[in-house]
C-alpha cells in the first residue's frame, strides 16, 4: 500500500498493531454508503467521468452484497475497512477504482463512517429504551394502588405505591433518551470532504454529500472534522449514565427477590440455579446487568484517556476510539433487552409488599403533619412530639395506629382520636395527592401522561 514511499514492508508487530480490520469491519455498510455518496458527487462535479462513476457504484453494490452474504475475504494486510473495500473494488473494476479516493482521506472517511454507524445505533437504543419504558408503565398501571415501603438510606421511610416507584425509572430512562437525542443532533454533521485535515483543491460539493447521507450540514472546520471525537465521548457519557440507571434498577430487582424482602419473583426465564445447592433461584440476569455497568463506564474512561493529550489534527491513537464505543453499544443493547424482559416477567407479591409497610413507623410523618394541620404546631415541634410518640410505640412494641390515645396525650395533650384517621398506610398514600405524588389517583394520571410523553 505504501510502495511509493517505503522500500520494505512493516515488521510483524507493526502490521498487527496497525491493523483495525478485526473490529472496524462493522462499518462496512456505512463505508460503502459514504463512498457511493462521494462517488456520485465527484461525477456531478465533473471530477470523475460518468463511465467511471457508474463502474464505481456498481462495484460498491457488488461488495456490499458479498459482505452481507459472507463471501467477502477481509485482509489484515490492508489494515482497515476502507482499504479492504478499495482493494476489492480495484479487483472488480480495475483502474477506475483509484479515482474514488479523489478529494478525500481515510481521516474524513472514518469520521463519516463512525458518525453514520453511531447515528443508527442511537436510533436502535432509543427504540429499546422506549420498550423498557413501556414495560415499566404497564407494571405501574397494574400496581397504581399497590402499597409498599418507600426507602431512604435503604431504611423504611414512608409508604408509597409500587406504581409510583416504577414510574421513577420511567423518568430516568426518559432523560437518557433525551441525552441520546441531543448526542444525535450534535453528531449529525458530515466530515466528508475535509480530506486529511486541510480540505481539498478539487471543486467538491460537501453540502450534497452531507444531504445524501442524511446529515444536517457539513462540518464547518476541516481540522476539527477529522480530529473531533466529541460525538463518541458524548455517546459514551450518555451510555454510562444509562448503564448506571440500568444498574440501579437491577439492584432493586436483586434486593426484592431475596427471601428477606420477597417483594417480587422472576420466572425461570430470567433466573438460574446453583451447581451445588439445588434449592437456589438466583436473579442472575439482574446481577449481570448490574455488573456490566462497569464495562460502559470503563469504555468512557478509555476514550477520555486516549483523547486527553492529542494535538490537532488526526493521530493514529484515534484508531482506539471504535472498540470502546462498539463494546459499550453492544453491552447496552444486551442489558436493555434483559432489563425489558425482566420487567415484563416481573411478578410482584402484593401481599408481601403490603405486609412490609407494617414496620418502620412509616406513617410518622403523617402524624407530624396532622399535629401541624390540626393543632397548629410549628413543624419542628410536631417533629419532636412525633419522635417521642414513636419512641413510646417502640417500648410498647406496637404500630403507631395501635398505640393507645392516652399514651399520645401524655406527650401532646391536645391529640384526639381523630389522629387515627391518618395513621393507616392506605390513608397515608391517598393523602399524598400533590402533583407527582404517590396517591393512586396521581399515579394513574402519571401513567397516562407518561404514555403520551414517551410512547
Give the separation between CA 453 and CA 116, rounded to whole angstroms: 27
Q: Cell digits for 282? A: 438466583
Choose, from 267, 271, 274, 431, the residue flagged as catalytic. 274
Give the separation between CA 403 and CA 393, rounded to whole angstroms: 6
What is the total residue count of the chain?
A: 455
DSSP letters spanning 355-409: HGGGSS-TTHHHHHHHHHHHH---HHHHHHHHHHHHHHHHHHT--GGGS-HHHHH
Which of 147, 60, 132 is CA-nearest to residue 99? 60
Look up residue 254 and give its DSSP letter: H
Choose, from 143, 153, 247, 275, the residue flagged as catalytic. 153
Residue 59 CB neighbours (<10 A):
24
Active site residue 274: yes
Query: What are phi and psi for residue 381, nearest 5 degrees?
Result: -70, -40
The answer to whether 189 and 215 are in contact (CB under 8 A) is yes
Q: In sequence order, which residues have a C-beta less than 8 Å from that of residue 46 and are 6 or more positions away?
A: 203
Give the separation between CA 363 and CA 354, rounded to whole angstroms: 14
The answer to whether 403 and 344 are in contact (CB under 8 A) is no
Give the separation between CA 403 and CA 199, rounded to whole angstroms: 81
- Give the residue numbers annotated as catalytic, written as ranges: 153, 274
Amino acid at each position: 500500500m505504501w510502495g511509493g514511499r517505503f522500500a520494505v514492508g512493516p515488521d510483524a508487530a507493526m502490521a498487527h498493531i496497525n491493523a483495525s480490520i478485526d473490529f472496524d469491519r462493522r462499518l462496512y455498510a456505512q463505508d460503502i454508503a459514504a463512498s457511493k455518496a462521494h462517488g456520485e458527487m465527484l461525477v456531478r462535479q465533473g471530477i470523475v467521468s460518468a463511465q467511471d462513476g457508474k463502474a464505481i457504484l456498481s462495484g460498491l453494490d457488488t461488495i456490499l452484497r458479498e459482505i452481507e452474504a459472507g463471501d467477502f475475504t477481509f485482509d489484515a494486510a490492508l489494515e482497515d475497512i476502507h482499504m479492504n473495500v478499495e482493494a476489492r473494488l480495484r479487483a472488480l473494476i480495475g483502474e477506475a477504482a483509484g479515482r474514488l479516493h479523489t478529494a478525500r482521506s481515510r481521516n474524513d472517511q472514518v469520521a463519516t463512517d463512525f458518525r453514520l454507524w453511531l447515528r443508527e445505533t442511537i436510533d436502535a437504543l432509543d427504540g429499546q429504551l422506549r420498550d423498557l419504558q413501556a414495560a415499566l408503565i404497564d407494571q405501574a398501571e397494574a400496581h397504581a394502588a399497590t402499597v409498599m415501603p418507600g426507602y431512604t438510606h435503604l431504611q423504611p421511610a414512608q409508604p408509597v405505591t409500587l406504581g409510583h416507584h416504577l414510574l421513577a425509572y420511567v423518568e430516568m430512562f426518559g432523560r437518557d433518551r433525551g441525552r441520546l437525542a441531543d448526542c444525535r443532533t450534535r453528531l449529525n454533521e458530515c466530515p466528508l470532504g475535509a480530506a486529511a485535515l486541510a480540505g481539498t483543491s478539487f471543486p467538491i460539493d460537501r453540502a450534497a454529500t452531507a444531504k445524501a447521507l442524511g446529515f444536517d450540514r457539513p462540518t464547518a472546520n476541516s481540522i476539527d472534522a477529522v480530529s473531533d471525537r466529541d460525538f463518541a465521548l458524548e455517546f459514551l457519557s450518555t451510555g454510562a449514565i444509562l448503564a448506571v440507571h440500568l444498574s440501579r434498577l437491577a439492584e432493586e430487582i436483586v434486593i426484592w427477590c431475596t427471601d428477606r424482602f420477597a417483594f417480587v419473583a422472576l420466572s425461570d426465564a430470567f433466573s438460574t440455579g446453583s451447581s451445588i445447592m439445588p434449592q437456589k433461584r438466583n436473579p442472575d440476569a439482574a446481577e449481570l446487568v448490574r455488573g456490566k455497568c462497569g464495562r460502559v463506564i470503563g469504555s468512557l474512561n478509555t476514550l477520555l484517556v486516549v483523547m486527553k493529550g492529542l494535538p490537532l489534527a488526526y493521530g493514529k491513537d484515534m484508531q482506539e476510539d471504535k472498540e470502546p464505543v462498539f463494546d459499550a453499544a453492544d453491552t447496552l443493547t444486551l442489558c436493555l433487552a434483559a432489563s425489558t424482559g425482566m420487567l415484563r416477567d416481573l411478578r410482584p407479591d402484593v401481599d408481601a409488599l403490603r405486609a412490609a409497610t407494617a414496620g418502620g413507623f412509616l406513617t410518622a410523618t403523617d402524624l407530624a403533619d396532622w399535629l401541624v394541620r390540626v393543632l397548629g404546631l410549628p413543624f419542628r415541634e410536631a417533629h419532636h412530639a412525633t419522635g417521642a410518640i414513636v419512641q413510646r410505640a417502640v417500648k410498647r412494641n406496637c404500630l403507631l395506629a395501635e398505640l393507645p390515645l392516652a399514651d399520645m396525650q401524655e406527650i401532646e395533650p391536645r391529640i384526639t382520636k381523630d389522629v387515627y384517621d391518618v395513621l393507616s398506610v392506605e390513608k397515608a398514600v391517598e393523602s399524598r395527592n400533590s402533583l407527582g405524588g404517590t396517591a393512586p389517583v396521581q399515579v394513574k394520571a402519571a401513567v397516562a401522561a407518561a404514555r403520551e410523553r414517551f410512547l
